[in-house]
């Protein structure tokens, strides 16, 4: 087991550029493979999850060049109908994004394929994609009959549907939209509120006809249902993509800069797509100081440099349509809340229970061990800030975001914190601990 010990930090100072956005990196391979011509993606995230996507598409007959030193990939696309039947089960590792979005593409193929991942993936819910793909005419079977992977998928001959998704999930939405590329007629997905829209933006950039707008139906308590629609059989053309830094990775430095007194950090080149940037709103709402220094556009994706200064934070309420815009940042927001004055309520976030770990249970156990006052709820947490934490032995639960959140908590805690299975940061941020050390 890898254990990482982290001491309390005095103050954090310096500049940091985080690796490329994970969601956009995955999609650059997926759409690059289905496009005609080459797609070059720079500032690509060379982490375990994105390498799982690369290896799956290689199994499907796509030639992908990787330059790991330069963080660049070139995907030699074969067009919408150029994938080949894999000879073995497609291994998606720990990646829910690969598993769910790739399943949508496989549903559009006439060949049969099987898809499976690691022990965590094998417990994550797949009914959310099995149902719509089946409705579109694909055969999707959970081989153990538990609505999880391994899945056997065969399809082709799909028809477009108007799908009302019970969850605001970009993985579900993207899965259906990619299947929709192969369907007869248009396909739409309406979600309870807008989840990250990288697939819609990138599909459009590659030449597909995609619309995305607030849906007319049932506007309820802070939620605006959102509808994305795609036309089938687009002529996708390879693109040059410069991937912005991942705000989900930047979140650890934002949180650390805010809670460690005397800190000032410039986080450069961070994607601030509004469907991802909820943490900035929450941090400001808690009294945090974050200055957007320079804002620019990268192929429809907004990016900026962020200057973060330490501040005394206070509690807040996080709920409704804000949740999908910061779903992966909630573990580190819980750390900020534990260091703040007053009570923070996080609700409408039951999705946390079905991520790489049950993040409500994981963060509750870990932050309690460090002296926080935290109550788990069915759809979130209530955290009463005690203003101080103490070092403890905590667990990553093999969840990269839990490990990195606990590293941030450690910086603000009295004494030493030991994180068990700390190496799981390889999933999304292989150089995380080294980058953190540069600021201490």
Residues numbered 372-431 forming contacts with ligand S3P, rule: CB under 6 A:
none
The answer to whether residue 103 forms part of the interface with ligand S3P (CB under 6 A) is no
Report the distance separating Cα 294 and Cα 91, nearest Å.
Answer: 40
Q: Are 328 and 401 in contact (CB under 8 A)?
A: yes
Q: Is 328 in the site for ligand S3P (CB under 6 A)?
A: yes
Candidates 167-175, 177-185, 206-214, 383-391: pick the segment binding ligand S3P (CB under 6 A): 167-175
Ligand-binding site membership of 23 (annotated):
yes
Residues 6+ apart with CB under 8 A from 248: 21, 22, 276, 328, 329, 401, 428
Token pair listed for 85: 């039947």
Q: How far apart are CB 19 and ligand S3P at their closest, in Å?
A: 14
Minimum distance, C-beta of residue 329 to ligand S3P, in the bound complex (Å): 10
Q: Which of 114, 151, 113 minimizes the C-alpha distance to 131?
A: 151
The Cα-based distances of 378 to 57, 72, 381 in angstroms read 37, 41, 8
Which one, 26 or 78, has the nearer CB to ligand S3P?
26
> Is 22 part of any known ligand binding site?
yes
Q: Give CA angle at 299 (239, 177), nearest 5°.
A: 70
Query: Measured at CB, which residue is nearest to ligand S3P?
Result: 23
Indicate the residue among 115 and 327 with the shorter CB distance to ligand S3P.
Answer: 327
Cβ-based neighbour number of residue 233 at 10 Å: 12
* Binding residues among 187-226 for ligand S3P as defined by CB under 6 A: 195-196
- Closer to ligand S3P at the Cβ: 99 or 263? 99
Q: Which of 9, 23, 114, 339 forms a contact with ligand S3P (CB under 6 A)?
A: 23
Residue 263 gets which letter from DSSP? -
DSSP element (H, E) containing 285: helix 278-285
| 49 is a site residue for ligand S3P (CB under 6 A) | no
Minimum CB separation of residue 100 from ligand S3P in Å reads: 7
Yes or no: say if 338 and 388 are a contact pair by the CB < 8 Å rule: no
Residues 226-285 binding ligand S3P (CB under 6 A) are none
Taking the C-alpha atoms of residue 8 and residue 413, their distance in angstroms, rounded to an integer, is 5
Counting contacts by CB under 6 A, is residue 98 touching ligand S3P?
no
50-80 burial by CB neighbour count: b if 16+ within 10 A, else e? bbbbbbbbebbebebebeeeebbbbbbbbeb
Calpha distance 426→249 (Å, rounded): 12
170 part of the interface to ligand S3P, by CB under 6 A: yes
393 annotated among ligand-binding-site residues: no
Q: How many residues belong to the site for ligand S3P (CB under 6 A)?
A: 12
Locate 156 and state its tokens: 């082709």
CB of 401 to ligand S3P, least distance (A): 8
Q: Which stretch binds ligand S3P (CB under 6 A): 170-178, 185-193, 333-341, 379-387?
A: 170-178
**Options 94, 113, 116, 169; binder of ligand S3P; rule CB under 6 A:** 169
Residues contacting residue 245 through CB under 8 Å, at least 6 positions apart: 17, 18, 19, 20, 21, 43, 267, 268, 269, 270, 271, 303
Query: Tokens for 214?
Result: 């607030």
Active site residues: 328
User: Per-residue DSSP letters for 101-150?
Assistant: HHHHHHHT-SS-EEEE--TTGGGS--HHHHHHHHHTT-EEEETTSSSSSS
Q: Residue 327 interacts with ligand S3P (CB under 6 A)?
A: yes
Minimum Å gap between C-beta 167 and ligand S3P is 7
**Nearest residue (CB) to ligand S3P, 195 versus 316:** 195
The answer to whether 27 is a known ligand-binding residue is: yes
Bond from prior residue into 245 cis (ω within 30 degrees of 0): no
Check whether 328 is labelled as a binding-site residue. Answer: yes
Minimum CB separation from ligand S3P for residue 37, in Å? 24
Task: Please name which of 76, 52, 56, 53 lies closest in space to residue 64, comparing C-alpha atoms.
Answer: 76
- Site for ligand S3P (CB under 6 A): which residue of 47, 149, 171, 417? 171
Site for ligand S3P contains 120 (CB under 6 A): no
Q: What DSSP state is assigned to residue 9?
A: P
- Nearest approach, Cβ of residue 438 and ligand S3P (Å): 25
Binding residues (CB under 6 A) for ligand S3P: these are 23, 26, 97, 169-171, 174, 195-196, 327-328, 351
Residues contributing to the annotated binding site for phosphoenolpyruvate: 22, 96, 124, 171, 359, 401
Residues contributing to the annotated binding site: 22-23, 27, 96, 124, 169, 171, 328, 355, 359, 401
Residues contributing to the annotated binding site for 3-phosphoshikimate: 22-23, 27, 169, 171, 328, 355
């Amino acid at each position: 087991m890898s254990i990482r010990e982290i001491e309390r930090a005095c103050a954090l100072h310096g500049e940091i550029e985080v690796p490329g956005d994970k969601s956009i990196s995955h999609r650059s391979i997926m759409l690059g493979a289905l496009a005609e011509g080459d797609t070059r993606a720079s500032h690509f995230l060379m982490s375990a999850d994105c390498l799982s996507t690369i290896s799956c598409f290689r199994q499907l007959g796509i030639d992908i060049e990787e330059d790991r030193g330069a963080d660049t990939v070139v995907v030699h696309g074969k067009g919408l109908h150029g994938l080949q039947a894999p000879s073995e089960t497609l291994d998606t590792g720990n990646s829910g994004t690969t598993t769910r979005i790739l399943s949508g593409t496989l549903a559009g193929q006439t060949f049969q394929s099987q898809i499976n991942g690691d022990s965590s993936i094998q417990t994550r819910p797949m009914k959310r994609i099995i149902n719509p793909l089946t409705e579109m005419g694909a055969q999707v079977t959970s081989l153990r009959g538990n609505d999880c992977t391994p899945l056997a998928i065969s399809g082709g001959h799909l028809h477009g549907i108007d799908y009302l998704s019970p969850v605001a999930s970009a993985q579900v939405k993207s899965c259906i939209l990619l299947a929709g590329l192969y369907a007869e007629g248009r396909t739409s997905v309406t979600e309870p509120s807008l989840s990250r829209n990288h697939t819609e933006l990138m599909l459009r950039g590659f030449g597909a006809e995609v619309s995305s707008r607030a849906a007319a139906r049932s506007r309820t308590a802070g939620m605006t249902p959102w509808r994305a629609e795609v036309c089938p059989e687009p002529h996708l053309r390879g693109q040059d993509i410069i991937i912005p830094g991942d705000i989900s990775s930047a979140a650890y430095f934002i949180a650390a800069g805010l809670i460690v007194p005397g800190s000032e950090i410039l986080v450069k080149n961070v994607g601030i797509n509004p469907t991802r940037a909820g943490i900035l709103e929450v941090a400001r709402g808690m009294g945090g100081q974050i200055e957007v220094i320079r804002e620019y556009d990268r192929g429809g994706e907004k990016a900026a440099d962020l200057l973060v200064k330490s501040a005394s934070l206070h509690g807040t309420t996080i709920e409704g349509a804000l949740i999908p815009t910061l779903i992966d940042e909630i573990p580190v927001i819980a750390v900020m809340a534990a260091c703040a004055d007053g009570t923070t309520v996080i609700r409408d976030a039951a999705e946390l229970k079905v991520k790489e770990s049950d993040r409500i249970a994981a963060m509750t156990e870990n932050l309690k061990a460090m002296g926080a006052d935290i109550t788990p709820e069915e759809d979130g947490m209530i955290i009463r800030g005690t203003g101080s934490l103490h070092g403890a032995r905590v667990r990553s639960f093999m969840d990269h975001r839990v490990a990195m959140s606990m590293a941030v908590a450690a910086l603000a805690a009295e004494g030493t914190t030991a994180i068990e299975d700390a190496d799981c940061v390889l999933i999304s941020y292989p150089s995380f601990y080294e980058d953190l050390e540069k600021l201490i």
